Amino acid sequence: MGPDLSVRRLTTIVAADAAGYSRLVRADEDGTLAALQAHRAELIDPQIAAHGGRIVNTAGDGLLLEFPSVVDALRFALTVQRGMRARNAGMPQDRRIEFRIGVNVGDVASVGDDLLGDGVNVAARIEALADPGGVCLSRTARDQVRDRKEFALEDLGELEVKNIERPVRVFRLKVDGTGAEPKPPRTALAARLRGAAEPLRVCRRLPLLSRMEPHEQDDEQVLP
């Protein structure tokens, strides 16, 4: 008997992974794993909690996260990406761990602590479009923050992505943008959640995220 998919909800989903992770592991497995664990323990995991998020699923370098709102998700993403720049300062370019982050608002099925469905898949596909150290979000996510001056966004147009039938409107969050600095997390809300253009054909290989396709070798982008 398969999982019960009858419990559904609309939520903010964040997918993240380390760009070029396979290459980094091949070059220095012990050093890469130690650095990834340090980034998680000292920056990423504390910021997930501070912004009211939770870890849904992990696989190697990949993270699937849930946040109570797009505002919280984007504040988390900006804080992490800016924090990673500081942590990578002075490191050789080929030894830096740089994350890509994708944000989507979508309908999901809740199976225990896991999330399944198209909303998760879209988040992962959007994440694959982000530059190393960058953040991309879907139109449904953008619509929740379009009037907030703290987030500077660039419209990338409608993109066709692998295994998603319809084109997806994608926006890039400017990590060095003209928006104001992210505001401090809303600790009360965080505590509550912890308790409770022409289409462009794009295809990238993705990490394993919430029962999706197996993690493959380094990322590729194919443009006609």
Q: Let me know if residue 20 belongs to a domain.
A: yes
Instruction: Give the residue numbers spanning the domain of 74.
Output: 8-179+197-201
Per cent of the chain over pLDDT 90 is 64
Q: Let me know if residue 222 belongs to a domain.
A: no
Q: Let me know if residue 187 belongs to a domain.
A: no
Return the half-sphere exposure (C-beta side, CA atoms, 13 A cut-off) of residue 177.
20
**Position of tokens 């990406």?**
81
Beta-strand pair 135-138/168-173: antiparallel
pLDDT of 167: 87
pLDDT of 45: 97
Domain count across the chain: 1
pLDDT of 199: 41
pLDDT of 88: 95
Residue 99: is its pLDDT beyond 90?
yes
Q: End-to-end CA distance of the chain: give it in Å, rounded.
A: 42
Whether the pTM exceeds 0.85: the reply is no
Q: What is the CATH number of the domain that holds 131?
A: 3.30.70.1230
Q: Let me know if residue 160 belongs to a domain.
A: yes
Beta-strand pair 99-111/54-59: unpaired
pLDDT tens sequence across 105-160: 999 998 888 999 989 999 999 999 999 999 999 999 999 999 999 999 999 999 88
Q: Let me know if residue 208 belongs to a domain.
A: no
Q: Give me the sign of the Cα torsion angle 191, 106, 75, 84.
A: positive
Task: Evaluate whether 201 touches 223 at the Cβ level (below 8 Å).
Answer: yes
Q: Let me know if residue 218 belongs to a domain.
A: no
- Give the DSSP per-residue string, 160-212: E-TT-SS-EEEEEE-TTSSSPPPPPP-HHHHHHHHH----EE--------SS-
Q: Let me know if residue 46 belongs to a domain.
A: yes
pLDDT of 211: 42
pLDDT of 11: 96
Nearest to 212 by CA among 138, 90, 123: 123
pLDDT tens sequence across 29-44: 999 999 999 999 999 9
